[in-house]
Amino acid sequence: MKICVAGAYGAFGQKHLAALAAIEGVEVVSVMGPNRARIDALAKERGIPHAATDLGECLARPEVEAVILATPTGVHAAQALACLDAGKHVLVEIPMADNLADSKAIVAAQARTGLVAMVGQVRRFNPSHQWIHDRITAGQLKIQQMDVQTYFFRRSNTNAKGEPRSWTDHLLWHHACHTVDLFQYQTGETCSAAFGLEGPHHPDLGIAMDMSIGLKVPSGALCTLSLSFNNDGPLGTFFRYICDKGTYLARYDDLYDGYDKPVDLSGVAVSNNGIELIDREFITAITEGRQPNGAVADVLGTMEVLERISRSLTVGQGLV
């Protein structure tokens, strides 16, 4: 499988390159990034034969079979459509778009081309959440509430590596997308209620720096999500699963019980790296000619809920 990684020298581009290096039968044959010096240096360092500052140049190369987009959120939709139109399978980092209309366009393009188009909904693949999911599907656990905290300290435009960003991140369309998708995936239901409240907008970035979201599915399970770019402390997303039989705390690829004792995740998956597991699913779906877990059509329901929450924020009533 010959792959192009776009946004290759960014924080998540680097994670995908490391993950792909651990997967047998995969070759990164092209990388893209907007800075010529940086992308050339990366290609030379990793022995990648082609580098470009324009995605179209990468898509024109016949050896490229699939593309991983680790690029800014605002260009995800246009680039995903370009990949599909060029006949390339595509894995687009979360979120697939920053609005519902563009998400629908990607789903339509996938249906038209029949190619694999997947979203990097990494929480579906983290071993911690997989352990919970396996027990839910086996009838051993039932979620009563998910309590989730997504906390960063981003009062300036920087990425996960602390480097300056050319684009602005978003609590709702990026970070809440993780939890909304995971809540519906774990419960197997679509939200019957969703609301959002936001705090003041940053004077320069123009985005809400704090947000509170509430979700409910028809079975009665709840999800309470708190998000902040103002948190000066431990950073990341932390999930508390309050279930009928036990409480569990998921911290990325690690899982603990309600008393903070580690849960053995050996045997859950072939790797403990969620990014590697996403990439493995993408590649396997292509080789097997099937739709992947996290296919764009499966994630569309998440984008519809985000749109509902966005409308509630715009109206200012906090309820839909």
The gap from C-alpha 114 to its chain's centroid, in whole angstroms, comes to: 22
pLDDT for position 214: 97
DSSP 8-class letter at 124: G
Q: pLDDT by residue (tens digit) across 278-305?
A: 999 999 999 999 999 999 999 999 999 9
Q: pLDDT by residue (tens digit) across 119-139?
A: 999 999 999 999 999 999 999
Reduced to 3 states, what is the DSSP secondary structure of residue 81? helix
Q: Which residues of 73-103 are buried (b: 16+ CB within 10 A; e: fewer)?
A: bebbbebbbbbbebebbbbbbbbbbbebebb
- Domain(s) labelled CATH 3.30.360.10 in the chain stretch across 124-260+303-315
Relative orientation angle of helices 274-288 and 11-21, to the nearest 10 degrees: 60
Mean of pLDDT over the chain:
94
Q: How far apart are the first and last CA of the chain?
A: 45
Question: Is 115 in contact with 168 (CB distance < 8 Å)?
Answer: no
C-alpha to C-alpha distance for 137 and 310, rounded to whole angstroms: 31
Q: pLDDT by residue (tens digit) across 151-195?
A: 988 787 776 666 776 767 889 999 999 999 999 999 999 999 999
For residue 95, whether the previous peptide bond is cis, meaning omega lies within 30 degrees of 0, is yes
Q: What are phi and psi of 107, to 5 degrees?
A: -60, -40
CATH of domain 124-260+303-315: 3.30.360.10
Q: pLDDT by residue (tens digit) across 221-237?
A: 999 999 999 998 888 89
Architecture of domain 2-122+275-292: 3-Layer(aba) Sandwich (3.40)
- Domain(s) labelled CATH 3.40.50.720 in the chain stretch across 2-122+275-292
